[in-house]
Amino acid sequence: MLIYSIMKRQILKSLQNWKQDKFRRPLIIQGARQVGKTYILKEFANIEYDSMAYFNFESQPHLHELFNGSLKPQDIIKVLSIELSTKIVPEKTLIIFDEIQECHGALNSLKYFNELANEYHICAAGSLLGVTLANSRGFPVGKVDFLNLYPLSFTEFLQALGEVTLLEYITEVNTISPLPGILHEKLLKYFKDYIYTGGMPAVVLEYVSGNDFNRIRTIQNGILESYRLDFAKHAPQNMIMKINQIWEVIPSQLAKENKKFIYSIIRKGARAQEFEVAIQWLFEAGLIYKAYNSSVPKLPLNGYVNHDIFKIYLADVGLLGAMVGLSAKSIIYGDSLFQEFQGAFIENYVAQELIRQGLSLFYWTSNAQAELDFILQLDDKIYPLEVKSGTSTKKKSLIIYIKKYDPAIAIRLSPMNLKLDGKILNCPLYLLESLNNLIKACPLHPQLSD
């Protein structure tokens, strides 16, 4: 039951759609190390195919030789079949190229499979694919499909717990009215646990099977150490120290009330030109996200941002907690977990969930008078979003934004229950994945109020 629950990641539906697409191209799955790329591809093969042909270019370096010669698909299929001592059958066998960033010949071969042998279904994955692709010359752009895999979301966390009925209930919420108090408190309890654990599959597995928070922290620290080893192994030699310096100061940057990234926190006199490549490396590795500043909330948001002013978030809130040594005791003491670290954990959770939903990250400031955590572009409309780590309804920045721009709906994410407070839609933190639907269900939504 446990294995089945964790298996049901939302990306499975996208993988099934890819299989059915008649214009299907070789698929590359991107994501940080240990988010479950290999696991989900093997499960996809077990569910949807008669057989699987799995190749790992990191643990099986001799495979590189198979791509030193002809890259014609039929030649490659022949040698791969010999390597496995089994037949690879078009449309019946899923070919998995794991850690494909280690073999440029395998990466380049995807172009020829797309052009000459589309009947072979190929999925590729790798821990540092973003870094590799950003620095590859001649990679066949337009010849492959891409999917991103992220840490488990909160709803996937509930799925892993076997809370199917509760999950169905919250995904069907379609009116702006408070949830029953007992369900609200139960969801907040699970959400607190999720903020501590995060969504790395190995951590969630430990939570579900043992609920041992000390063991959870040990696993998280192991993941962090594997990232540091990646810096040393894969980053350019002249960048390793800078990448480590950026990585280590992210928690202290988020601890500030103003979470704008300040280079001088790394060391006195540090400048952007020294560290921007290191930041980009971490971004391409899928380990961090950037939220850009905007003082002019106009469409499209990306056209009105200051790319020199930004905030940095980690890809997983649980790893952020591990980096700062967040105590498990904070889970059981009221809302202290939400308010720890200037609310950085909750804001980081919101950032990673918005990214998972395919949104870009922007935040708004106004002449040092006000700052909103995020502004969202949804369906050609802009919505201000304030993140509240406690139950206080103070909302100075949100009120300033409302007075200045008069949005149809403003959003406050908080531990409070679902409700409409004037123009402000209060969305409980645990319902963030349903935010788009809740906006559309809001009586103030333009399509409903017209």
Check pLDDT > 70 for residue 309.
Answer: yes
At 1 the pLDDT is 37
The DSSP code for 289 is E
pLDDT band, residue 448 (cuts 50/70/90):
low
At 135 the pLDDT is 74
Q: In this structure, what token pair is assigned to residue 185?
A: 């408190």
Say how far apart CA 248 and CA 265 lie, in whole Å: 11
Average pLDDT for residues 386-408, to the nearest whole number? Answer: 85
At 87 the pLDDT is 96
pLDDT band, residue 391 (cuts 50/70/90):
low
- pLDDT tens for 406-422 read 999 999 999 999 999 99
At 133 the pLDDT is 79
At 373 the pLDDT is 95
Check pLDDT > 90 for residue 396.
Answer: no
- pLDDT tens for 68-100 read 999 999 999 999 999 999 999 999 999 999 999
Q: Of 268, 358, 356, 355, which Cα lies nearest the Cα of 312?
A: 355
Say how far apart CA 57 and CA 53 lie, in whole Å: 13
Of the listed ranges 57-61, 111-115, 132-136, 342-346, the one predicted with least confidence: 132-136
At 4 the pLDDT is 39
Residues with Cβ within 8 Å of residue 58, at least 6 apart in sequence = 98, 99, 102
Say how far apart CA 204 and CA 219 lie, in whole Å: 10
At 253 the pLDDT is 92
- pLDDT tens for 100-142 read 999 999 999 999 999 999 999 999 998 888 878 777 766 767 8
At 2 the pLDDT is 43
Rounded alpha-carbon distances, angstroms, from residue 298 to 309, 376, 399: 17, 11, 18
Task: Kindly list the domain boundaries of the chain, sorted by start residue.
Answer: 2-148, 154-449
Say how far apart CA 174 and CA 437 lie, in whole Å: 7
Say how far apart CA 28 and CA 193 lie, in whole Å: 32
- pLDDT tens for 17-36 read 999 999 999 999 999 999 99
* pTM, rounded to two decimals: 0.93
Say how far apart CA 63 and CA 80 lie, in whole Å: 9
Say how far apart CA 231 and CA 225 lie, in whole Å: 10
Q: What backbone torsions phi and psi does residue 369 show, to the nearest 5 degrees?
A: -95, -30
Average pLDDT for residues 209-228, to the nearest whole number? Answer: 94
Say how far apart CA 403 and CA 214 lie, in whole Å: 47
Q: Of 296, 301, 449, which Cα lies nearest the Cα of 378?
A: 301
Task: Give the residue with greater pLDDT, 5 vs 48.
Answer: 48
At 446 the pLDDT is 74
Average pLDDT for residues 52-68, to the nearest whole number? Answer: 96
Residue 22: count other Cβ atoms within 10 Å of its Cβ: 5
At 369 the pLDDT is 81
Q: In this structure, what token pair is assigned to residue 414?
A: 């908080």
Check pLDDT > 80 for residue 394.
Answer: no
State the average pLDDT for the chain. Answer: 91
- The SS3 of residue 53 is strand
At 129 the pLDDT is 82
At 5 the pLDDT is 44
Average pLDDT for residues 266-293, to the nearest whole number? Answer: 94
At 393 the pLDDT is 59
Check pLDDT > 50 for residue 3.
Answer: no
Say how far apart CA 176 and CA 298 lie, in whole Å: 27
Spell out the long-range contacts of 397-402 with Cβ–Cβ below 8 A and sequence spacing 24 or more. 397/370, 397/371, 397/372, 398/372, 398/424, 400/366, 400/369, 400/370, 401/297, 401/364, 401/366, 401/370, 401/372
Average pLDDT for residues 418-446, to the nearest whole number? Answer: 94
Element (H, E) at 364: strand 362-366
pLDDT band, residue 450 (cuts 50/70/90):
very low
Is the CATH number of domain 2-148 3.90.1150.10?
A: no
Q: Write b or e for each residue in 99-121: b if 16 or more Cβ atoms lie within 10 A of its Cβ, otherwise e.
A: bbbbbbbbbbbbbbbbeebbebb
